[in-house]
Structure 1
Amino acid sequence: MVYDLDTRLCFLRSKGISVGALTKPHLPTNIRAFTKDDITCSDIGYQESNWQKDRCFKAHYDIKTKPEADKECAKDNGFLVQIDSISKHNAVKQFIQSLPSGNKFFIDGSDEAIEDDWRLSDGNLLYLDWKPGEPNSCCKKYEHCVIIFRNGKYNDVSCIAEISFLCERSLRTFDPEILSVFWSGPLFIKFCIIFKF
């Protein structure tokens, strides 16, 4: 069985695919065979992160509020980029600077629970690198979300502002659209299985 990218269906293919002793089957271009070991960020519409081998980033240029951005990232089994260290901050900054466009992006982080205690949605501390003069005292009542600029500096903004955003996900988190195809002999592919880790 194989997964057809055009129809998004799994189907049995008894002819036309063979497996050599050391190679994977040669498939038509509209058919993909995945295993958890050979999937890449580009296979799931993301880009390599240059931070950790199994982490991928994706820039969304359509503007959303922070809650809408959270939902959009979740559709890909991802989340808004979470920056909890200088090494990750540098990787995200490098990623943004490699993009063809975009000046500011929502990232994960809020001080809504306790003013000036900037936390990620998982409760960990947000690594901070504020733009000079930020966060300022003018708008503390409603600026509880974080954006990152192209230069890597942060600003606090309203969570209902509409801004581009950055998603992150792990290659170990498969969604129902990523299927693994196994082969068991020289003549046919045996299983088409949905992975959900």
Structure 2
Amino acid sequence: MHLLDTFQFLTLTVSLTVASDLETCECKPKINTCNVVPCGLPGSNGLPGRDGNPGPKGEKGDQGERGMLGPPGKVGPMGTKGDLGPRGPKGDEGKNEDLISLKAQVTALQEEMRMLQDNINKYSKAMILSGFKIVNEKWFKVHTSEETFEEGKKICSKNGALMAAPQNVLENQALEELAQNFNKDIYLGISDEVTEGTFRYQNGQNIIYSNWAENEPNGARKENCVEIYKNGQWNDRPCTDKRLIVCEF
């Protein structure tokens, strides 16, 4: 009986203590949190919660602006050869009238060319008779009288020219024709007066072409000048002899 009274007394004491503490504590509402928060010191933040479930897929956005052109890629492998295309239609056969007309024009041109060549030959002969001969870009002009080598140089110099001196086969043939036409040998603008055995042009350069007759030159110091025969071959002879003079322009 005594033990029961003691337990009831302790229970009453605890109840009074809890009631006293509740009277001094105020609860304040907190928006968007819990409705009632017991008074006391604020607690520390808890650990982050787990990720929520994925939400629904959003709508497709607008297409962005086109970016800059990138560098070219590697060249791809060569493709297979394509099939041969279809053959085109055969062209129309030419008219016989056109072919006949073309042949007539060709014939007329050939006749004109023949007549032109004949006229050129006539003019060439006339020029040779008057003492002229043209070879490439050279003009040969005959001085009708025969003179010594020194006189020949003076005559050509007065006309702004040099004595004829062939430098190739064609030029030599032109002088050969003049010699045959006038039936006289011609002095060439070539000599070895400066150095015996070394034949030079009037400008002092060594000759680059020659057409000596057999066993020529053979005159040594007595024959320092050169003449061309009517057969086109050369010979050395004394410069004081007189020969036909031809100037070249």
- Quick one: distance in 2 between partners of 1:73 and 1:132? 30
TM-score, normalization: structure 2? 0.44
Higher relative contact order (CA 8 A, sep 6+): 1
Identity level (%) = 27
Residue in 1 aligned with 2:214?
Answer: 132
Alignment equivalent of 1:79, drawn from 162, 170, 186: 162
SS in 1 for 2:244: strand
1:141-196 deviation digits (Å, cap 9, x = unpaired) = 22100001111111101111111121111xxxxxxxxxxxxxxxxxxxxxxxxxxx
- 2:14 matched to which residue of 1? none
Partner of 1:91: 174
Q: Please say if 1:163 is aligned against 2:243.
A: yes
What's the TM-score once normalised by structure 1's chain length?
0.55
Instruction: Report the CA distance shift for 1:102/1:158 in structure 2 as closer, same or farther (over 3 A).
Output: same
What per-residue deviation string (whole Å, max 9, x for no partner) do you get for residues 26-57 of structure 1?
xxxxxxxxxxxxxxxx7xx86241x124x211
Q: In structure 1, what is the equivalent of residue 106 of structure 2?
A: none
Q: Contact (CA 8 Å) 1:48, 1:57: kept in 2 or not?
A: yes
- Cα-to-partner distance string for 1:86-135 (whole Å, 9 max, x where unaligned): 332233324434x2x23201011011222211110112332211122221
How does 1:1-197 map onto structure 2 within 5 Å? 47-49=132-134, 51-53=135-137, 55-97=138-180, 99=181, 101-126=182-207, 127-136=209-218, 139-169=219-249
Mapped to 2, the partners of 1:59 and 1:68 lie a distance apart of 14
User: Who wins on radius of gyration, i.e. which is larger?
Assistant: 2
**Could you say which structure has the higher strand fraction?**
1
Number of matched pairs: 120
Q: 1:166 to 1:150 in 2, by over 3 A?
A: same
CA distance in 1, matches of 2:173, 2:244: 19
Kindly report the root-mean-square deviation, in angstroms, between the aligned alpha carbons of the 2 structures.
2.0
